[in-house]
Amino acid sequence: MTARRWIDFNGALLLGGLALLACQRGEPKPAPAGVAASATAVEPAAKPLTIGYLDSPLLSALYLAETRPGWRAADQLVRFGTSADLGFALIAGKVDAAFVEPAKALLIKDIREFKQVDVVGKVTYPYGGILVVRKGLGLKVQDLPGHTVAISSGECRLYHTLKKDLAWLHVDAEKIKFVQIPFPEMLPAVEAGVVDAAITKASYGLTARKLGHTVPYVQYDIVSAGDSCCPVATLETEFLLLSRAAVRTDTERLARLLLEAQQEKDGDLRAATHAKLRIPLELLETAPAAKFAYADDVLLKLFLKADEEEKAEAAEKAARSGKRARPGKKS
């Protein structure tokens, strides 16, 4: 009986020892304080950064950054068809960061969910106007009377510049049918045959030519009259890099990669754009490069969140009421 108990006791010790050894092998001990962790230690995987974008040649720094060593393999580019779809996907949390056109960002900035979005950076392009003519028409500026031309608004700088140049060419602008269409929808309207031509921003030139349309008019000497279509803070801004506030640190890492990428040779940026969008290199060489930068104070103020505006107004009202409510001397 004693021998049996001795065997059972030692068997339990043996099984316990094996279990302990298995646990030690499955879960390595933490390194002592001050001692570097082993190179074989596995770090927790970082959450992938999902980045929404449009097929635009202006995002060449993004396309090049994606091919560089600093790009995390887990990060994903998600292509969208329109800035509106992209902006709503961002505030709905379907993407972590996005390159959104300023006009669309201004439309959604007062939506409650936009409070969870930060403006991190901007993509700029030289501000100018172009006339895009639907492929097959072969129109010149002098041929516009009798045709339908899209403009952003009657107060647009580009529209006023075109009218000035038409007058110089002795072309009667009254015989042109101008219709108002937002910039992002102009090329689709030309493509669909809704309009014959469009006076739009120079930044759309590469995309228009890629689609086969002609650009017989380019003007960078823009008149100062009218600015409703182009707020001063966004005149040269073509895209905003927006980020969900919860992942801003990761988005700022992306911003640093973009700044590094745009320092590369122009040939490398064009090659990355060609590989991504299949725009001919000889066409890319005809246009200046877009630039990425962090958002400046003027731009940030434009996108001041509603609750911050309310706080500022409340503080101003409190200051004014405090001055009016100073108690007088008691009699």
How confident is the prediction along the chain (331 residues), in pLDDT tens digits per residue?
444 444 444 444 444 444 444 444 444 444 444 334 433 444 445 567 999 999 999 999 999 999 988 898 889 999 998 888 998 999 899 999 999 998 888 888 888 888 888 999 999 998 889 999 999 999 999 999 999 999 998 888 899 999 999 999 999 999 999 999 988 899 999 999 999 999 999 999 999 999 999 999 999 888 665 455 566 666 788 999 999 999 999 999 999 999 999 899 889 999 999 999 999 999 999 888 899 999 888 888 877 654 555 555 666 666 666 655 455 544 4
Which H helix or E strand runs over 180? strand 177-180
- Render the burial of 78-102: b for 16+ CB within 10 Å, e for the rest: eebeebbebbbbbbeeebbbbbbbb
Query: CA torsion 154→159→160→163, rounded to 10°?
Result: -110
The DSSP element (H or E) to which 130 belongs, if any, is strand 129-133
Region label for 101, one of left (φ > 0), alpha (ψ between -120 and 50) or beta (otherwise): beta
Place of tokens 């990425």: 292
150, β-bridge pairs: 179, 198
**Residues 149, 150, 152, 157, CA torsion sign:** negative
Q: Which domains does the chain have, with CATH numbers?
A: 50-125+236-306 (3.40.190.10), 129-219 (3.40.190.10)
List the one residue out of 93, 81, 83, 88 whose CA is nearest residue 111: 88
